Amino acid sequence: MRTKPAELYKFIMESNKIEGIIGPPALSVVAASEDFLGLEHITIENLEDFVEACQPDAKLREKQGMDVYVGSHTPPKGGPLIRTALGELLERANDDHDSYLVHVAYETLHPFMDGNGRSGRILWAWQMITFDHPPGLKRGFLHQFYYQALEHSEGRKG
């Protein structure tokens, strides 16, 4: 793991709270987060393992009819193209593509039936740590992502 345990714990607590999950995180989620953040390269299988730890019934939306609706956003329909699109997105993530844009693309794709918020945030955290983007996890997801959104709205790459 390339982050301090206290920073990771705070990150998991914040990520869970965004989902309405209050209280100490499950040990399985902490272990899955540590494992994920220790990876050198992210694959679809790595994300599936992480989602399985957080949301055991959630599956990749790779079959016809596995459609979801997120508020007023309608992600692409479920089917084989979800796996293809996620693979392309992870190529960008693994090549140090802008963590803000990767996160937005991930949440827009919404590749899993559930667990997309937490898996999207752990992917964002992996990029921040792996590619040494300051401040890493020190500010937390909401704080840092807010600044990234402002930088993008001003047309600057952050």
Q: What is the tens place of the pLDDT at every residue in 89-144? A: 999 999 999 999 999 999 999 999 999 999 999 999 999 999 999 888 999 999 99
8 Å CB contact between 99 and 157: no
Q: The domain that contains 98 carries what CATH number? A: 1.10.3290.10
Portion of the chain with pLDDT greater than 90, in percent: 89
Does 136 fall in a domain? yes
Task: List, for residues 39-61, the tens digit of each pLDDT value.
Answer: 999 999 999 999 999 999 999 99
The pTM score is 0.93
Rounded Cα distance, 52 and 132, in Å: 27
Does 137 fall in a domain? yes
Counting the structural domains of the chain, the total is: 1
Does 83 fall in a domain? yes
Does 50 fall in a domain? yes
Angle between helix axes 5-18 and 116-130 (nearest 10 degrees) is 150
For residue 74, give its domain range.
Answer: 5-153
Question: Using the 8-state DSSP alphabet, how is residue 30 labeled?
Answer: H
Does 158 fall in a domain? no
Q: Would you state the pLDDT for residue 157? A: 54
